[in-house]
Amino acid sequence: MLLVHIPWAGRIWGLPFLTALAPSERYASQAGRRHKPLADWGRQLLLLASRWLPERRVVAVADTTYAVIELLAAVRHRLTMVTRLRLDARLFDPPPPHRPGTRGRRRVTGPRQPTLVQRLADPASRWRRVVVSQWYGDSRRELNILTGTAVWDHPGRRVPVRWVLVRDVGGDHDPQAFLCTDQGADALDILRWFVRRWAVEVTFEEVRRHLGVETQRQWSDKAIARTTPALLALFSLVTLWAHDLVGRGHLGPRCAAWYPKRHLTFSDALGAVRRQLWEDGLFQASGQSRDMVKIPAPLAQRLLDAASFPA
């Protein structure tokens, strides 16, 4: 999904543009196929997206499922990856420069750094107070952060990262850690990028509720492979159509006395697009004055609204 700020919605939306069907391990076992983990699917799709956009900087934001060192090592030269980091991750200094004339294999890491759990308990840690706007629920959150660079090492794999340790000022939430494969990235930017990921979950909920994803009655592999990507893509198409209607002044928030709204929601956008398509395609106004209008215009408008904006 493309995580982009929608001005008329007042928040970040996740717009799907590429979908892959990832069968479960149980299904692969029953079908006698080799199971491909989600991290492998993610690696393929991320590299494909980076090839589509060779002139742009791509920042990929993912949850813990994709905090896999093999995935990060495979994509870090093509794009910037932001995800969560385990508090007990093995972090090391970069290897010292190789001195000419020295014998033996070159070192791949330097001395081991303290774990993030140890940094949390260390009273000498120098925390920085920041405020992250557009936190979950469009709120603002005051946080203490600690950041640094390291080489994340796992036997046989290693990747340089910038880590960000986050501690809630009010103490209402447990400490969390994040990583970014761009060591020059600003810690506050990393947090802002990761917070955008919540829009992905919102999109999944919207397409289930309004577009019927995961409610299809076809259960064959081919049917699922066709309908699910099409319905996810429809979310993005509806958003683009609604953006055009907003630009022409044809779309505004639908409010009730008990439910005031300042911004448009996806249900508003979907209803407006339906209305526009049905009005243009089915309910054209009479072209000649001698034609009889069988339905009064106000009634036709109310019928269109009732059909376009279902509960």
CA dist., res. 237 & res. 243, Å (int):
10
Average pLDDT over residues 21-43: 91
**Cα gap 194→72, rounded to integer Å:** 16
Q: Report the pLDDT value the prediction gives residue 256, as an integer from 0 to 100.
A: 67
Alpha helices in the chain (DSSP H): 25-31, 38-52, 69-75, 116-121, 187-195, 198-211, 221-247, 266-282, 297-308
**Model pLDDT, residue 197:** 92
Higher pLDDT, 178 or 169: 178
Contact status, residue 276 vs residue 238, Cβ threshold 8 Å:
no
For the cut 80, the answer to whether the pLDDT of residue 290 exceeds it is no
DSSP for 165-221 reads: EEEETTS-S--EEEEES-TTS-HHHHHHHHHTTHHHHHHHHHHHHHH-TT--S--SH
Q: Which residues of 212-225 are buried (b: 16+ CB within 10 A; e: fewer)?
A: ebeeeeeeeeeeee
The least confident of 56-65, 93-102, 248-257 is 248-257
Tell me if residue 256 falls in helix, strand or coil. strand
Q: Of 25 and 105, which is predicted with more confidence?
A: 25
pLDDT above 70 coverage of the chain, percent: 86
Kindly state the average pLDDT of the residues 146-172: 90
Q: How much is the pLDDT for 311?
A: 47
What pLDDT score does 285 carry? 55
Q: Is 115 left (phi over 0), alpha (psi -120 to 50) or beta?
A: beta
Arithmetic mean of pLDDT over the chain: 86
pTM: 0.83
pLDDT band per the 50, 70, 90 thresholds, residue 220 = confident
Using alpha carbons, list the distances in angstroms from residue 285 to 56, 119, 280, 293, 303. 46, 70, 9, 8, 15
pLDDT of residue 140: 80
**pLDDT tens per residue, range 261-284:** 778 889 889 988 888 887 765 555
Predicted local distance difference test score (pLDDT) of residue 286 = 54
Give the pLDDT mean for 228-248: 93
Give the pLDDT band (50/70/90) at residue 44.
very high
pLDDT score at 136: 65
114 neighbors 148 (Cβ within 8 angstroms): no
Residues near 290 by Cβ (< 8 Å), separated by ≥ 6? none
